[in-house]
Amino acid sequence: MRILFFGFMALMALSQTGCSQNQGNYKYAVSDYKAMFSLPSTGADVKVDLVINYQIGDENKSEGFKFVGENQVADASCISESGDKCTVEIQHLKETKIIWHFAPARNTTKAVTVSFVIKDQLRRERVANIFVAPWAGVFRVPVEKATYEIIFPQGMNPKIIQASPGVYEKNCSLGVCRLAVTQAPLVNRELVVKYQE
């Protein structure tokens, strides 16, 4: 009986060690991520703001990137939490890749806001409008908390037909309605919103 008990304890210790080593494989993580999508009153271009808070470990980090599917991107920019501008470049691979560069950081936190416009992203159908961003929550590292926020045009109080992932909150203030979905940790990556004006 004692042999079984000590064998079980040894197995648990190895398991915990393996988990710790697996977590340690990441050179950084994202503590908080907010993706804001401002929908247009006319047209189909969507303004995007990504606020990303990094927890950086013992190796220098000086850039980040996001794939945004095969979408065309315009007006890309980036600023750090201190207000410094980051260099931004767009690469057209199988998917469009947005890359931002900032001053090297190590053993600290770092926040950036990446802004751009996705062309022709809002689908306007006879019954409803549909916005889909399958890339919204795709990261190579763990994300402790993520919020997707849809900002509707001034004066619009939309009827929400579908919003995923999960449970959403809709709030209207000063003539602007917002829909928000929060996950902690980030699990469901794709964002889908279907609404009537």
pLDDT at 189: 85
pLDDT at site 38 = 98
What six digits make up the tokens of 185?
Answer: 């940790």
| pLDDT tens digits, 153-186 | 999 999 999 998 878 999 999 999 999 999 999 9
Q: What pTM, to 2 d.p., does this model score?
A: 0.85
SS3 187: coil
User: How much is the average pLDDT of 136-154?
Assistant: 95
Q: What is the token pair recorded at 67?
A: 């794939």
Specify the pLDDT at position 13: 37
Please give the Cα distance from 71 to 191 (Å, whole number).
15
Give CA angle at 11 (7, 15), nearest 5°: 170
- Residues 60-112 have pLDDT tens digits of 999 999 999 999 999 999 999 999 999 999 999 999 999 999 999 999 999 99
Cα separation, 21 vs 95, whole angstroms: 32
pLDDT of residue 64: 96
Alpha carbons 121 and 39: distance in angstroms, whole number: 9
> What is the distance between the alpha carbons of residues 29 and 57, in angstroms, rounded to a whole number?
8
User: Environment class of residue 72 by beta-carbon count within 10 Å: exposed (0-12), middle (13-18) or buried (19+)?
Assistant: middle
